[in-house]
Structure 1
Amino acid sequence: MEFLVNIRITWPDAMDPGLKAAVSEEERRRAAELAASGNLVRMWRVPGRTENWGLWRAADPTELHTIISALPVWPWMDVTVHSLADHPVDPGPAV
């Protein structure tokens, strides 16, 4: 299944800068692993915000929740998930 996922990150004002840097670095490493496994297909940044949209793949919503809730930034994330279904006029993946 494919999912369109919006993630907004809200870092605490008083967060230790070293912790924030470590969590951000671990998040990038984990994202690379998820991309390699095919779970994270695409990711777009929302300009000027700590927010992104991503195209994710998982067997079902439960697997997606397991993947996303295990992300290092999970405690500071606000997540909205939209399930996607095939459309009869979909031209297919971009080449």
Structure 2
Amino acid sequence: MLFMVEMTVRIPQSLDPEVADAIKAKEKAYSQQLQRDGKWRHLWRVAGLYANVSIFDVKDADELHTLLTGLPLYPYMEMKVTALAQHGSAIAQN
């Protein structure tokens, strides 16, 4: 199943910068592994914001939930999840 996930990160200013940097490094490694595994198919930055739009290819909503809650930045994120379906007029098949 394909899901579009819009993520906005809101790290508290009170968080120690070294702690924040360590969390960001773990986030990068985790997200890149999910990309290599084919689970995180697309990742786009939203210009001007600490936010992204991503496409995940997972078995079901439960798998997506597990992947998203495993993100090191998850406690500092607001997310909007949208299930996607193939459009009848699309030339390319997913």
TM-score (ref. length: structure 2): 0.95
Q: How many residues align?
A: 93
Whether 2:73 is the aligned partner of 1:73: answer yes
TM-score (ref. length: structure 1): 0.94
Show the counterpart of 1:27.
Answer: 27
Note the residue ranges of structure 2 that are not aligned, 5 or more in a row: none
Show the counterpart of 2:55.
Answer: 55
Note the residue ranges of structure 1 that are not aligned, 5 or more in a row: none
How far apart are 1:31 and its partner, in Å?
0.8
Residue 50 of structure 1 aligns with an amino acid whose one-letter code is Y
Residue 47 of structure 1 aligns with an amino acid whose one-letter code is A
Identity of paired residues, percent? Answer: 30
How far apart are 1:72 and its partner, in Å?
0.5
Query: Once the two structures are superposed, what CA deviation does each residue of 1:21-45 show, in whole Å capped at 9, x if it has no partner?
Result: 0000110000110001111001110
